[in-house]
Amino acid sequence: MKLSEIIEKLNLDVVVANELDDVDVVNGYTCDLLSEVMANCKKGTAWITVQSHLNIVAVATICGVSCIILANDHDYPQETIQKAEKEGVVLLKSKLNSYTISGELYKLGIK
């Protein structure tokens, strides 16, 4: 499924966009521990988390995740946003919590 479709269906706020490329999202992963994400995330993953720390951008780049979805209406710190812009990592956010975002995405058929 295209990222744009997910953004629309889950009503996500776009904090850092990637306008050049509407990437595919092939699976979902919910996790707040960076090392677990690093070990288990695949290319094309939508990563759902409450972590907004700068390090998430590096992890996302290394693993090739399609987007980060920040839950619970948390805000990304400025430094995270700047790094994501530089690295081309898509940052999204939602008022909903990790459980519901995961559930909604799973319902869309993203496994």
Partner 1 sequence: MTKKDETVNPVSKDNMERLDILIDELKGIFSNIKAHEIMNTSVVVIMPDRTLYQAKELMRLRKISGLPVCDENGMLVGIVSIEDIIKALENNYINDKIERWMTKNVVWISEDEELIDIVEKFSRYGFGRFPVLNTETHRVIGIITKADILSTILNKLKNLYVRDQRMTNVLENTDLHSISLITGEKLDKSGADFYFEINYTDINMAGVGAAKLREFLLSKGFNEELVRRVAIATYEAETNVVIHSESIGKIYCFIRDDFIKVRVEDYGKGIENLELAMQEGFSTAPDYIREFGFGAGMGLVNMKRCSDKIVVVSEVGKGVIVEMLFNIKTGREET
Partner 2 sequence: MKLSEIAKILNAKILTCEDKADEIDIKIVGASDMMSDVLLIAKPGMLLITGLNSPQVIRTANIVGIPAVVVVRKNVVPSETIEAAKNFGIALLHSPIPMYVACGKLYEKKLKDVAGIIE
Q: Given the rule CB under 8 A, which residues bind partner 2? A: 27-33, 36, 40, 48, 50-51, 72, 96-100, 102-107, 111
Q: Which two tokens stand for residue 33?
A: 């521990």
CB of 29 to partner 2, least distance (A): 5
Cα 51 to chain centroid distance, Å, stands at 11
What is the Cα–Cα distance from 27 to 72, expressed in whole angstroms?
A: 21
CA–CA distances in Å: residue 34 to residues 6, 12, 15, 57: 23, 22, 21, 10
Q: Which two tokens stand for residue 71?
A: 């839950």
35 or 78: CB nearest partner 2: 35
CB of 16 to partner 1, least distance (A): 16
Site string for partner 1, 48-87 (x = CB under 8 A): --xxxx-x--xx--xx----------xx-x----------
Residue 78 touches which of partner 1, partner 2, none (Cβ within 5-8 Å per kind)? none
